Structure 1
Amino acid sequence: MQSASPPLTKLAEIYSHPVGQIGSVNHAAIADYVPYKSGLTPITPNPNPPFPDLVNQRALEKYQTGRFQGFTAAELRALDSLAFEQPDFPDMRLEGLDVDHVFRRENWQNRRKAVHRALWPLGNGRPGFWHVDTYVGTQTIWDIILPSLRIATLVLNNAHTWPWWDAFLSNHIPLPVGKLPADKQHIPCQWYRLRAAQIVNSPAGRKGVQDYFRSLADDIIFDFACGSFDPDSTLPDPDDFHGLTCGPTPWWQKTTCNINFYLVEPLLNPKINSAERLLCQAELAVTILHEFCHALYTRSEESLDPYFEDEVLGEVGFSMEKAVFGGRTSQLNAAYINPKGLPFGGQMNFGWNNYASSINCLADQPILEPKPANYREATSYPVPISYFRNLHDPTFWQAYVPVWGSTSLHMGPFTAGSLFDFDTKQRRLIETPLLTDPVITLSMTDQEKATAKIQIDRNNSARTIRQDMQLNKDDRTFRDRQFLSQQPFPSPPPTPASQTPVYVEPRFEPQLTQYEFDLIFNYLVRYRDELALDTLHFEIPEHQLYWYILRSGFTGLEAWQWRGFLQECERSNKLFFWTEYFEPPTPTIGMVELNPLGWPPVPQKYNYNPQQPPPGTRLHAVFQDWYRSMHWLGDLEDPYSDSVFVQGQYDFDKEVCVFLVRKIMRENCLWTDPEITEVEFDECLGFCDSMLWMKGPKGIVRKSDRGWPPVVTSPSYSAPSTPSQSSSGSLSLSVTLERKL
């Protein structure tokens, strides 16, 4: 159940009521309005307002221009860029289009996941997990993401329209050293450039691109992950991502594109309108394509992303977005801050190849020279809702895209934008020139006429928007004059402190009966040893411990009951401490820590002076190389080791560990006898119990906090790579990580 909900406007029920300082925006300007506001509503001015109303209007407009890149919500409405201002219309899903083979359902369905990587529950009391076969109402998550996959499919089907794809998939060449900064010229980088149009557009050129896509269709899979947690270790990650691609590993030979499920969360909200749904579907399609580009590049064995033409930033996903869609996007109701997973409200187009975009590159990716003259300028353009309707319109793809080519999917049309100068710290509004209307003649083909009509409609829309923007500007000018003419002098006394109650977002707090609580409590106490709860010496994600409990046999336990149990444990100081990440109303994530004083006492079972197996036995020989191999996998500080653990991670899939130990024993320890069995592996673990390694739940190897050298510094971020033999001869187990922020 939810805690009591304070009064909200209709928009705030959908987009929430932001509180306090979030990012660079202070939401204090809307704190004193009840019902509580979303801050997205265009201001409707009183034609003859008293002075206090003028003050409030100016405060709200200042707040909105700070939140929306220099625009008020009224200006965004004039620019046709507010989804919630659109009348409802039938859903647009591009029905009838088969998705590309790489995006097929099988590539999203659950394969054998590592035991230390649990499925994420939907949260907020909804049954099921983030998986394409999970039902949400009458639809599966697969049904919900299908329109996005169809847009991504249309982009790949028409890849010849954008020469970027041909350049990216063709042979790369070494980047000229002179393009690198003086202190980075020792770093090998790659460069890809456009090929001649007659090659790109030839039947062989088009076929080559499509053949490359098909060749990887069985080597790439997709999964849902939380964008604020590392998808492999499942630990909190300070860097949010929309998508993150992990390259092949010795134990999993496919590339995995992890998609942040908070991007899909708005599509599960039954209150959003049709226009909002189009925005969210389009953003998901762009993210899937972005990660697909990173997946394509995992074949290269290069540690850094290549650079396209004269771009000074290297990030293949954003380079593709610039080439295909005309730039990066950002949500008006920012989806990457707390609370996460809210509907967008509208979209902004941001440029690429500038200072503002450099934060989206990996930390060790050099920024090239010379930089463009406008490198320290950032432009923002509100995207009209008509653009997202076109993306979901089969006629647009059939008639407009073939004629307008590489600019056909560029966001727009833009009639106004804003420019921020990082040197002067100033922002100003800018206008864009209108295109000339094409002339429709009798000699045109039907396709040419349809294309011309689409362009004329876009131009007419832009003219109407420009007129509305001018009216809005005139209105603000008039009110500014009113304000100056009425402003009292000297200044009025300070406004008394607000009497509005502080807003508290209702939280998901399921209430268990005493019977339900006792049932879970007694199960955990009874199976305390099997679940290895006494060796839980670290914080663990709530859903991961829930997964261990399900695997132990308590299959009737629902995720909402587990959440309610942990909340009650926190309140009553029993069994576990529980910490909540993120903010409601969207689902939050919990971290769990053992409360050592909240358990019934039990006798000490663990041997802190483990003995080695008898000398001269096979097990003794196995143990020596097993110990060395496991040290390779677990030591974060040894420069010659290849740890599969990251700092703060202690659980890892036992089956994977057995596979890796066998591999390391053969290739690094030169083991030639029959390989270690699972029984021998478990016996070796027992010899180390509580020193280096500990008893874990079923299917888990648990790393101890005892016996390892202290971690002096956090491990550096591993550059993308594929499995290889390092110069020291040790097995490289690093994982390719590419981020979309």
Structure 2
Amino acid sequence: MASLSVQEKKPTPFTTLAKKYGHPVGKSGKLNHKILKNTGKSGLTPLSPFPSSPGQRSPNQWIKRRLREYQQRRYFGFTAAELGRMESMAALNTSQILSTLENPIHPMFEKTKWDTESTLPKHQSFLPLLGGYEGLWQVDNPEVWEILRSPLQLASRLLVDASYWPWWDALFNGEYKPIENSRKPIDRVKQFLLSFHQRGPALRNDPEALEELQRQILEASEKIRFGLHSGYARGDTGMPYDLKQDHIHYGETVPASIYPYTKVWLGVEILQPLLRRDLTDAERVATTLIHECAHAVWDTMAELLPNIGPTEPYFEDEPLFELGWSLEDKLWGGYGRDIVSSNMWQGGPGLPNMGILATKWFTQKSERNLYKPIVLAHKAPAAGEPDPYYCFDYWPVPVTYQTNLFQSEFWDRSVRAMGARATQFGPLSVGMRLLAEDREAPENYQIILQPAMRIEENLTQHVIHDGMTESEKAGWEFENKRRSQALLIFYSIATGSETEPLAVPPNQPKDPGTEAQGVQVEDEGIPDCPRWTEILNYLLNNRGPLELALDSLTFEIPEPTLYRYILNRGGLDISPTEWRAFLRTANHKGEYFRWTTKPNNWFGLVTRIPHSWPPNKQQAYLPPPPRALPSADDIDSFTTAWTDPNFLTGLYTHMREFRDVDHDTLRRIMNRYRHEPFHIHACDMEDLIAKFAAEGTYIVHGPVGIARVIHPIPENIKESVKREEESMIKEQEEDDDSSESEDSDMQDGRGEEDKTMQDNVDNQVLEEMDAYMSGALMEPDMDWAIV
């Protein structure tokens, strides 16, 4: 039978791993996924030997070499097989590890501290769960609170046991002192900078000091609140960020401004895998919470400390200021990079991180993640050693390290006996190093080993003797089990398969790649909406002001926000899935609404199509009069606010092009940003909004409780706010590090003719790989390499 042409080939079904960890397409940063094109595969499975004739270099060997290089580009110099031998690939660990933590949730994270339907401003919304689940990402949803429980319990252990890490005591009670000019860059000598320092063990471990530290953490927690939103979107509007960025915010801390509390936003993308009960991701959620808590706690302290300057303080001799990463460094001995980078999440929710690589944040690479970084002089390296500030090291962390954190036995025995050492990443055996002067390509990674003393510490059983307390004995019994595992891992690495050596092959040029970027999701097909007529009639009958306000909807609005308007309006029982089905169908028909997903599949943006809506046949809308006539002073203040650049800048900073704003939020923005003293009470604001919305001056009525701004924001104010943000957000974000390799075509000096020849080879390789996958070259019982 004749084979199908390229045009006739059907899409390849996704493999199990691709459904869980994603099928990358196009480019992620500068990493090209062309070798996975049309395979439906994830690129994660360890390479297996290819069939070939003895003494002959087959096309399959060439393909395997290309696949190995692809994995090394993607995984910081490692192949999936090497990560698997170090037991760092979650997908290859088939045992189910459940949390045995039984400790209560700390008051910092208790349910009353999270957004609920009653506390969330009316112009904001909760995201749908998606991924085959119904409901919304809010703590009142039992499913959501249940999956939050394990990471919240771990984060709570980290706070309750904060005394194990002197960093916390230093933040609250340590010595704050100006940084010496000798450590500052020459152009920043006059800038006031602070560092904070540990107290001695006798002071910080005094029983009264331990109790005081817990009281201070509890007091700070009273000024912090939490919310769930998309890490690709702004928390205050739900709209995606204006700037092009592949990176996602795991968490975001917003200092107290218009609201009297510091707000910590947690990206739901890192929570979605927990619906599958993947504990490897629960550790990441807890780490994110603690990271953001470091910033939030500082925000609650900063107002009490005079003359602290415009930046966060530095911790002791660290060269960069970033409290969240500083704390992580003390908790874990570094910070954990996801093996599956967050830019793989584009195109679909719920992709687990597969595992982590331990690395250091306080290196040159992190400078680009800070706004106007001030790099301080740091300790010089030992003679003959490279400067660690310019070394980027990556150490695979066994999956059991993450699961141990969720075992009560680990905390009750190992942490109690060993203190902060117990929570350090490990056991670490073999790593990869990239120097700052080298581009990120497989041949530039150097294999590194732990120092002999550290290896011996990781592998040698600790002697348990009668002089130990029962607690110390129990702790070291637990630690010895961990060292036994480390010995097995180290032996596995040392005796690895000859077909998959731990070595870096010569570099091969990357493919140009032209297809869409991100992660391909399986085609949902032509949309189906059985309730189309019912939902449409509901929208047509509730389109007026103080209903759904659809007739004045002239801007993009997040899909979940419009869904919340429907729920608040009432009269239609509809699920998030049914709402999305309606919007997809409308978009497919080209009627009523356009619906686009950007930057990922978590939520769509909805735009009303005016010409497809029939005339509103309902009786002309008569707005309700104000309950009481506002005072002349309030009317004058409200009117002049709309010509006040300070207020308009504040409004645009918070809302951007989104035009719906909760009444109380608008009041708080006015009170916060007006140039002249201005304070208006909530009850007076309601009367002002009723008056001006009825007149159609500055605002009109949105749904109940929402003012829809119609007053134009001057272009110079928009440009000023955007320029400020552009200067703060870098083009390359931290989570693109795994895909930043310089394009080989720009580095190897090949001419155009050579490039064309190489492209032809690439296409031939892909055709041979396609044939191989379809079985034409497949020998019996031979597994394909990249499931």
Q: 1:701 aligns with which of 700, 707, 720?
A: 707
Partner of 2:690: 682
For residues 584-631 of structure 1, the C-alpha deviation after alignment (integer angstroms, 9 at most, x for no partner) is: xxx531001121222124599999xxxxx9xxx975553221112355
The alpha carbon displacement at 1:69 in A equals 0.7
Q: 1:622 aligns with which of 617, 620, 634?
A: 634
Partner of 2:251: 243
Superposed counterparts of 1:287-686, under 5 Å: 287-299=288-300, 300-301=302-303, 303-337=310-344, 338=346, 339-361=348-370, 363-370=371-378, 373-425=387-439, 426-433=444-451, 434-436=455-457, 437=460, 438-472=462-496, 474-476=498-500, 505-507=522-524, 511-513=528-530, 516-530=531-545, 531-583=548-600, 588-601=602-615, 621-632=633-644, 635-636=647-648, 645-658=654-667, 661=670, 668=677, 676=684, 678-686=686-694
Partner of 2:169: 166
For residues 554-599 of structure 1, the C-alpha deviation after alignment (integer angstroms, 9 at most, x for no partner) is: 441222222111112212221221111245xxx5310011212221
The alpha carbon displacement at 1:159 in A equals 1.1
Q: 1:222 aligns with which of 215, 226, 237?
A: 226
Partner of 1:498: none
- Indicate if the aligned counterparts of 2:647 and 2:669 stay in contact, CA closer than 8 A: no
Partner of 2:764: none
For residues 456-512 of structure 1, the C-alpha deviation after alignment (integer angstroms, 9 at most, x for no partner) is: 33333333223322333743459999x9xxxxxxxxxx9xxxxxxx97623387511
The alpha carbon displacement at 1:519 in A equals 2.1
Letter paired with 1:74: A
Letter paired with 1:566: L
Q: Would you say how many aligned residue pairs link Structure 1 and Structure 2? A: 668
CA 307–663 in structure 1, closer or farther in 2 if over 3 Å, else same: closer
Partner of 1:286: 287
Residue 44 in 1 paired to residue 44 in 2? no
Aligned counterparts of 2:317 and 2:426: Cα–Cα separation in 1: 24
SS of structure 1 residue aligned to 2:665: helix
CA 387–536 in structure 1, closer or farther in 2 if over 3 Å, else same: same
Aligned counterparts of 1:529 and 1:170: Cα–Cα separation in 2: 57
- Indicate if the aligned counterparts of 2:24 and 2:520 stay in contact, CA closer than 8 A: no
Pick which of 304-313 and 22-31 moved more: 22-31
- Indicate if the aligned counterparts of 1:93 and 1:146 stay in contact, CA closer than 8 A: no
Letter paired with 2:689: F
- Indicate if the aligned counterparts of 1:633 and 1:643 stay in contact, CA closer than 8 A: no
Unaligned runs of 5+ in 2: 1-9, 381-386, 512-518, 726-732, 736-787
Letter paired with 1:184: R
Aligned counterparts of 1:210 and 1:393: Cα–Cα separation in 2: 23
- Indicate if the aligned counterparts of 2:692 and 2:698 stay in contact, CA closer than 8 A: no
Unaligned runs of 5+ in 1: 484-493, 495-501, 608-612, 720-738
For residues 79-126 of structure 1, the C-alpha deviation after alignment (integer angstroms, 9 at most, x for no partner) is: 1111122232352231x3212122222223615111111111212453
Partner of 1:489: none
- Indicate if the aligned counterparts of 1:630 and 1:661 stay in contact, CA closer than 8 A: no
SS of structure 1 residue aligned to 2:606: strand
- Indicate if the aligned counterparts of 2:700 and 2:710 stay in contact, CA closer than 8 A: yes
Letter paired with 1:449: K
SS of structure 2 residue aligned to 1:560: helix
Aligned counterparts of 1:480 and 1:624: Cα–Cα separation in 2: 72
Letter paired with 1:343: P
For residues 283-328 of structure 1, the C-alpha deviation after alignment (integer angstroms, 9 at most, x for no partner) is: 1111111111112111213642211011111111111000011111
CA 328–718 in structure 1, closer or farther in 2 if over 3 Å, else same: farther
SS of structure 2 residue aligned to 1:713: helix
- Indicate if the aligned counterparts of 1:306 and 1:314 stay in contact, CA closer than 8 A: yes
Partner of 2:136: 129
For residues 144-165 of structure 1, the C-alpha deviation after alignment (integer angstroms, 9 at most, x for no partner) is: 1211111112111221111111
SS of structure 1 residue aligned to 2:202: helix
CA 442–627 in structure 1, closer or farther in 2 if over 3 Å, else same: same
For residues 325-355 of structure 1, the C-alpha deviation after alignment (integer angstroms, 9 at most, x for no partner) is: 1111122122343134301211111212102
Aligned counterparts of 1:394 and 1:343: Cα–Cα separation in 2: 24
The alpha carbon displacement at 1:709 in A equals 5.0
Higher relative CO (Cα under 8 Å, sequence separation at least 6) belongs to 2
CA 424–504 in structure 1, closer or farther in 2 if over 3 Å, else same: closer
Identity %: 27
- Indicate if the aligned counterparts of 1:328 and 1:351 stay in contact, CA closer than 8 A: yes
Aligned counterparts of 2:608 and 2:616: Cα–Cα separation in 1: 15
- Indicate if the aligned counterparts of 2:653 and 2:721 stay in contact, CA closer than 8 A: no
Aligned counterparts of 2:646 and 2:567: Cα–Cα separation in 1: 27
TM-score (norm 2): 0.78
Aligned counterparts of 2:709 and 2:543: Cα–Cα separation in 1: 18
CA 196–127 in structure 1, closer or farther in 2 if over 3 Å, else same: same
Aligned counterparts of 1:660 and 1:342: Cα–Cα separation in 2: 37
- Indicate if the aligned counterparts of 1:247 and 1:298 stay in contact, CA closer than 8 A: yes
CA 43–665 in structure 1, closer or farther in 2 if over 3 Å, else same: closer
What's the C-alpha RMSD, in Å, of the aligned pairs? Answer: 3.5
Aligned counterparts of 2:403 and 2:646: Cα–Cα separation in 1: 51
For residues 217-248 of structure 1, the C-alpha deviation after alignment (integer angstroms, 9 at most, x for no partner) is: 33322221110101012221245210112233
Pick which of 530-539 and 502-511 moved more: 502-511
Aligned counterparts of 1:129 and 1:246: Cα–Cα separation in 2: 23
SS of structure 2 residue aligned to 1:63: helix
For residues 26-62 of structure 1, the C-alpha deviation after alignment (integer angstroms, 9 at most, x for no partner) is: 22223354xx322111112258666222222211111
Pick which of 5-14 and 67-76 moved more: 5-14
Partner of 1:201: 205
Aligned counterparts of 1:674 and 1:26: Cα–Cα separation in 2: 54
Partner of 1:152: 155
For residues 624-658 of structure 1, the C-alpha deviation after alignment (integer angstroms, 9 at most, x for no partner) is: 21112355488545xxx676634323221113324
The alpha carbon displacement at 1:262 in A equals 0.8
Letter paired with 1:249: S
Aligned counterparts of 1:740 and 1:170: Cα–Cα separation in 2: 31
The alpha carbon displacement at 1:660 in A equals 5.5
Residue 72 in 1 paired to residue 79 in 2? yes
TM-score (norm 1): 0.82
CA 631–112 in structure 1, closer or farther in 2 if over 3 Å, else same: farther
CA 522–307 in structure 1, closer or farther in 2 if over 3 Å, else same: same
